[in-house]
């Protein structure tokens, strides 16, 4: 194990922050009660869980009753999409119902919507995105139908860092009485979230993306929005998600929300500067390199590139053996020589799109880390390009 290795894959996951670990500790040790139990152990757990709901809600300008703790961001998305759309369709007495989203969404949204179309008979449309991967209000407006039930548009894209104007899309949806779900998983460490200002009915989060533990997600369900639980049984989380609640996880998620609320403004400014230095350095030192996503309106620590005629996975591995941990931009690989759907939807040509690399900075990233990347990346890109020549 390389003791000097550098972690630059914060969009994939983040380390648990000290205050978060501290907040969780009692619930991994002495305060182990089941929050549903009526006895003293249960009451202690229940109190902590209530507090976690409250803190999390406050952080996004919601009510405690509108917060559901799930197992992960993917589950939050699944719960919102399936539960919301199925319930809404029934409420409206529609035979099929129509869903709108975009091909830039995370798999948790895209795959779920496709399955819903196939298994539950929804009609589904993916609206086009612009060259930065952004969904416009006009595109959604053009796709709306009288039987549209739900729109899903992510807040910040995990692959290319761009933002969508969820507030404006939300206003449009309100006007048409259509539900809006947003996957905001990439946001909390950098952006303050206000569910009222965003005009959303459902908002999904994942604790391990903002210095909390893995294994816990958050779903905001606006009071009054339709829902249908996916996990049924003991009626936990006010009937929205059955299963003994992961109290330690919920406490951790809430503590993480609090932690980032205190850090994000200063960190975002700091990371933006580091990231911009990284981007400038890469563009200067690596031939045939392009930044993907919006050049300005993007997550502060997010730098995603495409390199022409480079195998992205090889590049990621080449950096890894030198001790730098980054991502190709998309977690899923299936030996598919096809480039990512997101980059393709953005109109990026194949010989570029196959060379995707995503570098995402975090609260612990330093100038020295950026120096190391700028030192190694050009060499690794050259080596990967040379390897392609050397074999064919």
Partner 1 sequence: MKKSRVVIAMSGGVDSSVAAALLVEQGYDVVGIMLRLWAEEGNDAYGQPNSNRCCAPEAVADARAIAKMLGIPFYDIHAEAVFKQRVVDTWIDGYANASTPNPCFNCNRSIRFGFLMQRALALGAEYLATGHYVRVSRPGEGNTDSVFKLLKGRDEKKDQSYVLHVLGQRDLSRAMFPCGEYVKHEVRELARKFNLPAAERAESQDLCFLTQGDYRGFLTRQAPQVAQPGPILNVAGEEIGRHEGLPFYTVGQRKGLNVSAHSANTEALYVIKLDKARNAVIAGPASALGSTNAFVGAMHYCADAAPDAPLRCTAKIRYKAREAPGLLTPLVNGSAEFLFDEPQRDVTPGQGLVCYDGDAVIGGGVISRR
Nearer to partner 1, 197 or 388 (CB): 388
For position 105 contacting partner 1 by CB under 8 A, the verdict is no
What minimum distance in Å lies between the beta carbon of 338 and partner 1? 8
What minimum distance in Å lies between the beta carbon of 202 and partner 1? 33
Nearer to partner 1, 158 or 328 (CB): 328
For position 38 contacting partner 1 by CB under 8 A, the verdict is no
Paired tokens of 190? 């950098």
What minimum distance in Å lies between the beta carbon of 110 and partner 1? 20
Q: Is 173 an active-site residue?
A: no
Of the candidates 167, 256, 318, 361, which one interacts with partner 1 according to CB under 8 A?
A: 318
For position 387 contacting partner 1 by CB under 8 A, the verdict is yes
User: 379: burial class by Cβ within 10 Å (0-12, 13-18, 19+)?
Assistant: middle
For position 375 contacting partner 1 by CB under 8 A, the verdict is no
- Report the C-alpha gap between 21 and 19 in whole angstroms: 5
Nearer to partner 1, 228 or 387 (CB): 387
For position 391 contacting partner 1 by CB under 8 A, the verdict is yes
What minimum distance in Å lies between the beta carbon of 179 and partner 1? 35
* Strand order through the sheet with 202-206: 67-70, 217-221, 202-206, 179-183, 148-152, 98-102, 123-127
| Per annotation, catalytic residue among 72, 134, 173, 332 | 332
For position 388 contacting partner 1 by CB under 8 A, the verdict is yes
Q: Which stretch binds partner 1 (CB under 8 A): 94-102, 112-120, 340-348, 383-391?
A: 383-391
For position 4 contacting partner 1 by CB under 8 A, the verdict is no
Mark residues 325-364: x for contact with partner 1 by CB under 8 A, - for none.
--------xxxxx---------------------------
- CB of 291 within 8 A of CB of 283? yes
Question: Footprint of partner 1 on residues 192-251 (CB under 8 A)?
Answer: none
User: 334: burial class by Cβ within 10 Å (0-12, 13-18, 19+)?
Assistant: exposed
- Report the C-alpha gap between 204 and 103 in whole angstroms: 18
Of the candidates 130, 165, 320, 364, which one interacts with partner 1 according to CB under 8 A?
A: 320
Q: Which stretch binds partner 1 (CB under 8 A): 49-57, 77-85, 119-127, 379-387?
A: 379-387
Of the candidates 311, 324, 360, 369, which one interacts with partner 1 according to CB under 8 A?
A: 311
For position 296 contacting partner 1 by CB under 8 A, the verdict is no
For position 5 contacting partner 1 by CB under 8 A, the verdict is no
- CB of 360 within 8 A of CB of 293? no
What minimum distance in Å lies between the beta carbon of 208 and partner 1? 22
What minimum distance in Å lies between the beta carbon of 392 and partner 1? 8
Tokens 């496709």 — which residue?
114
For position 40 contacting partner 1 by CB under 8 A, the verdict is no
Of the candidates 94, 317, 325, 374, which one interacts with partner 1 according to CB under 8 A?
A: 317
Catalytically annotated residues: 332
Contact footprint for partner 1 (CB under 8 A) = 311, 313-315, 317-318, 320-321, 333-337, 383-384, 386-388, 390-392
């Amino acid at each position: 194990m390389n003791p000097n290795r550098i972690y630059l894959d914060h969009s994939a996951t983040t380390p648990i922050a000290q205050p978060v670990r501290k907040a969780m500790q009692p619930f991994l040790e002495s305060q182990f009660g089941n929050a549903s139990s009526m006895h003293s152990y249960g009451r202690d757990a229940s109190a902590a869980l209530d507090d976690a709901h409250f803190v999390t809600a406050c952080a996004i300008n919601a009510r405690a009753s509108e917060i559901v703790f799930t197992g992960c961001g993917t589950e939050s998305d699944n719960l919102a999409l399936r539960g919301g759309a199925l319930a809404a369709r029934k409420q409206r007495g529609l035979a099929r119902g129509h869903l709108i989203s975009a091909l830039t969404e995370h798999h948790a949204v895209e795959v779920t919507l496709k399955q819903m179309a196939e298994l539950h008979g929804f009609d589904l449309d993916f609206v086009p995105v612009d060259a930065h991967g952004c969904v416009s209000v006009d595109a959604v407006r053009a796709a709306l139908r009288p039987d549209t039930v739900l729109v899903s548009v992510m807040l910040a894209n995990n692959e290319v860092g761009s933002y969508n104007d969820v507030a404006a899309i939300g206003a449009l949806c309100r006007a048409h009485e259509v539900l809006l779900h947003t996957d905001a998983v990439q946001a909390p460490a950098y952006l303050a979230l206000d569910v009222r200002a965003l005009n959303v009915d459902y908002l999904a989060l994942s604790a391990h993306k903002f210095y909390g533990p893995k294994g816990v997600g958050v779903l905001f369900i606006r009071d009054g929005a339709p829902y249908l639980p996916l996990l049924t049984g003991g009626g936990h989380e006010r009937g929205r998600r059955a299963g003994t609640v992961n109290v330690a996880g919920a406490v951790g998620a809430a503590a993480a929300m609090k932690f980032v609320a205190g850090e994000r403004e200063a960190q975002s400014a700091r990371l933006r500067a580091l990231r911009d230095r990284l981007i400038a350095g890469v563009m200067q030192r690596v031939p045939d390199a392009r930044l993907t996503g919006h050049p300005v309106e993007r997550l502060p620590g997010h730098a995603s590139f495409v390199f022409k005629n480079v195998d992205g996975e090889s590049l990621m591995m080449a950096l890894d053996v030198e001790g730098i941990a980054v991502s190709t931009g998309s977690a899923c690989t299936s030996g598919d020589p096809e480039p990512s759907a997101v980059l393709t939807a953005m109109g990026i040509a194949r010989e570029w799109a196959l060379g995707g690399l995503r570098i995402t900075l975090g609260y612990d990233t330093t100038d020295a880390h950026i120096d190391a990347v700028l030192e190694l990346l050009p060499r690794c890109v050259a080596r990967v390009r040379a390897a392609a020549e050397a074999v064919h």
